[in-house]
Amino acid sequence: MSKEDWNKRHCVVLLDCDHFLYCLLRRDRKPLKPHHIDVNFVRRSARKTQAELKQEKQGWIEQQILGKVEEGMEVVDIEGKGRGVVATKPFGRGDFVVEYAGDLIDMKTAKGKEAKYAQDPSTGCYMYYFKYKNNTYCVDATAESGRLGRLINHSAKHKNLIARTISAGGLPRIILVAARDIPPGKELQYDYGDRSKESLASHPWLAC
């Protein structure tokens, strides 16, 4: 068979830029159908969006709160202060550290308890007032509970924690997060925020 006759009876078909289909087509057979290529296929990235990462972090913090998990801290005696809390592991800026845990009460109940605590200075007062979604609440952590958040000392000048509000278990909460990187052995401190004349007169260290 001559080359010319062979070319008349056979042909080569090339399909799309990615997949080459080599077909020998005989005159007595129908051409093969090309494979379907989905030109609209888009590869999806495995990277998470900022919203997804934020939601994931929120969920993890809620688990820590509801599980009463308090890790990377210990209570120590600090000269001139009494009890305090120091880090036993590094915390990065923005990390959740601990919840300021106590009884969540309304303003009327809080004012009544505060007046009662004022009659006995030895009792102390561990009440944290805060606003959440246009409502004012109070976390009363005065009672000894073994929770570490209530034992973290005040410092306006050397604070390494900041307070944030969050919802967990359907209730507003106060959490303390790292304001900067905190190495192990460092005392944890945050600004109580009380600058009233009465409080400064009774507790001058609030100005420090």
Asked whether the predicted pLDDT for residue 196 surpasses 70, the reply is: no
User: What pLDDT is attached to residue 23?
Assistant: 41
109 is a domain residue: yes
Question: What's the CATH number where 76 sits?
Answer: 2.170.270.10
User: What pLDDT is attached to residue 197?
Assistant: 60
For residue 96, list its beta bridge partners.
Answer: 177
Torsion angle defined by CA atoms of residues 31, 32, 34 and 35, in that order, rounded to the nearest 10 degrees: 170
17 is a domain residue: no
Coil, strand, or helix at residue 51? helix
CA distance 132 to 42: 43
User: What pLDDT is attached to residue 194?
Assistant: 65
Question: Where in the sequence is the domain holding 97, given as residue range(s)?
Answer: 70-207
User: What pLDDT is attached to residue 138?
Assistant: 97
Tokens for 161, please give them: 């924690």
pLDDT in tens, 68-114: 999 999 999 998 889 999 999 999 999 999 999 999 999 999 999 99
CA proximity to 157, closest of 182, 189, 194:
189
User: What pLDDT is attached to residue 123?
Assistant: 79
pLDDT in tens, 7-58: 444 444 433 444 434 443 444 455 555 555 554 555 666 788 989 999 999 9
How open is the CA angle 32-38-42, to the nearest 5 degrees? 155
168 is a domain residue: yes
Average pLDDT, the chain: 82
pTM of the model: 0.73
Q: C-alpha distances in angstroms, 101 versus 88, 126, 164, 174, 175? A: 20, 10, 13, 7, 8
195 is a domain residue: yes
Q: Structural domain tally of the chain?
A: 1
CA distance 204 to 207: 6
User: What does the DSSP assignment read for 55-110?
Assistant: HHHHHHHHHHHHTT---SEEEEEETTTEEEEEESS-B-TT-EEEE--SEEE-HHHH
pLDDT in tens, 136-177: 999 999 999 999 999 999 998 999 999 999 999 999 999 999
User: What pLDDT is attached to residue 168?
Assistant: 96
110 is a domain residue: yes
149 is a domain residue: yes
86 is a domain residue: yes
174 is a domain residue: yes
